[in-house]
């Protein structure tokens, strides 16, 4: 591991200034549950760590007003257990409860969760001790080196949003729930503050899979906001994985419904575990609007989300699993009063 300096700014403005001064090689760190892992693997090699956990007020959770607002440093466990969130927006709460493990959720923050890196085997295991090029090519880790997952072990890889350069799955659960609810990410940089709709926050891999987020260098995430919606109460995050806990999604679905009796007025749907970014399923939303919801309709519409899927050698099962997961999520959400 290479030596690094460790800075502890007291405000978001100080953190942005510290980054600007430190220059290339600086990274922010919050709970460290992803970054320290990557440093130990030799994938992240920062020269300056800017620890944002001491920034006052950055962990505030507010559920008053037009939108819910979660400070970037709020712990995953605190947001999951928040009474208003758990009661009125189960999709948000469940996406956090079903992620990682209790110890991790007590350390990890909802702002940095958005920025965690992929769990693709070749991204994580390929780095060598002296360079990020490593033993396996990976365009995300070492741009231009190739993608060992294409034609390799691809059981966990994405079937939606892939490119010739990358098929790595977007790993987070919380971003999928946020995508269904049209959340925004508040950031602060040298040019001031701005809000990025979550649907624009993640970049499809295309030919530059190393560019993953719509953040400029040195911009700090300060909060996540979620517009109020009555669909929040009729919502769920349904996650299928290899183990009942402590595992990333093979397929997941975030669903929030506005219903009139048994008829869907409006559905909000996003998929996880199957795509390179949190995947908004707008086609399925349109297919369900104005129709009486049944398991048959749910499955038929859910299959439409995978019409453009491009499976590899071992991950074709995700097409049926993803559709069944979404259909089940729709029925769970409908049953919630």
Closest by CA to 293, choosing from 268, 316, 259, 323, is 259
Residue 184 Cβ vs ligand FAD, minimum distance, rounded to whole Å: 15
Q: Quick check: 66 and 40 in contact, CB under 8 A?
A: no
Closest to ligand FAD by CB, 59 vs 154, is 59
Closest to ligand FAD by CB, 212 vs 328, is 212
**Range 210-244 burial, b when 16+ CB lie within 10 A, else e:** eebbebeebbbbbbbbbeebebbbbbbbbbbbeee
Residues in Cβ contact with 64 at an 8 Å cutoff, skipping those fewer than 6 apart: none
Closest to ligand FAD by CB, 105 vs 303, is 105
Residue 33 Cβ vs ligand FAD, minimum distance, rounded to whole Å: 3
Residues in Cβ contact with 248 at an 8 Å cutoff, skipping those fewer than 6 apart: 119, 156, 169, 171, 241, 273
Cα–Cα distances in angstroms (integers) from residue 286 to residues 118, 215, 242, 256, 268, in the given order: 30, 30, 31, 14, 10
Task: Find the DSSP H helices in 42-101.
Answer: 76-81, 83-88, 90-97
Closest to ligand FAD by CB, 88 vs 109, is 109
Residue 300 Cβ vs ligand FAD, minimum distance, rounded to whole Å: 29
- For 150-187, what is the HEC assignment? CCCCCCCCCCECCCCCCCCCCCCCHHHHHHHCCCEEEE
Closest to ligand FAD by CB, 94 vs 285, is 94
Residues binding ligand FAD (CB under 6 A): 27-35, 37, 52, 72, 99-100, 104, 107-109, 111-113, 115-116, 171-174, 220-221, 248
The values of phi and psi at residue 219, to 5°, are: -80, 135
Query: Which residue has the closest beta carbon to ligand FAD?
Result: 31
Closest to ligand FAD by CB, 36 vs 300, is 36
Gap between the Cα atoms of 233 and 280, Å rounded: 19
Tell me 261's DSSP state.
T
Closest to ligand FAD by CB, 149 vs 196, is 196
């Amino acid at each position: 591991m290479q030596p690094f300096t460790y800075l502890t700014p007291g405000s978001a403005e100080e953190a942005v200034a510290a980054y600007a001064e430190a220059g290339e090689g600086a990274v922010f760190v919050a709970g460290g549950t992803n970054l320290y892992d990557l440093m130990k693997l030799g994938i992240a090699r920062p020269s300056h760590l800017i620890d944002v956990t001491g920034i006052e007020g950055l962990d505030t959770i507010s559920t008053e007003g037009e939108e819910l607002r979660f400070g970037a440093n709020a712990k995953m466990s605190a947001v999951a257990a928040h009474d208003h969130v758990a009661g009125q927006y189960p999709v948000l709460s469940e996406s956090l409860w079903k992620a990682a493990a209790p110890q991790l959720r007590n350390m990890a923050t909802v702002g940095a969760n958005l920025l965690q890196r992929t769990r693709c085997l070749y991204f994580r295991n390929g780095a060598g001790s002296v360079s990020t090029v490593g033993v396996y090519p990976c365009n995300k880790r070492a741009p231009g080196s190739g993608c060992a997952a294409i034609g390799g072990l691809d059981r966990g890889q994405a079937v939606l949003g892939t490119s010739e350069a990358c098929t790595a799955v977007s790993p987070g659960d919380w971003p999928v729930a946020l995508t269904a609810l049209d959340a925004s990410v508040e950031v602060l940089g040298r040019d001031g503050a701005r809000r990025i709709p979550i649907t624009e926050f993640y970049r499809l891999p295309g030919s530059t899979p190393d560019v993953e987020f719509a953040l400029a260098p040195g911009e700090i995430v300060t909060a996540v906001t979620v517009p109020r919606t009555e669909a929040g109460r009729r919502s769920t995050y349904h996650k299928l994985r290899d183990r009942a806990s402590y595992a990333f999604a093979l397929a997941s679905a975030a669903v929030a419904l506005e219903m009139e009796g048994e008829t869907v007025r409006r559905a909000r749907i996003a998929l996880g575990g199957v795509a390179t970014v949190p995947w908004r399923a707008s086609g399925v939303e349109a297919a369900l609007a104005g129709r009486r919801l049944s398991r048959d309709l749910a499955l038929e519409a859910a299959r439409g989300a995978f019409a453009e899927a491009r499976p590899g050698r071992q991950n074709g099962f995700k097409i049926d699993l993803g559709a069944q997961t979404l259909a089940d999520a729709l029925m769970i959400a409908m049953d919630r009063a």
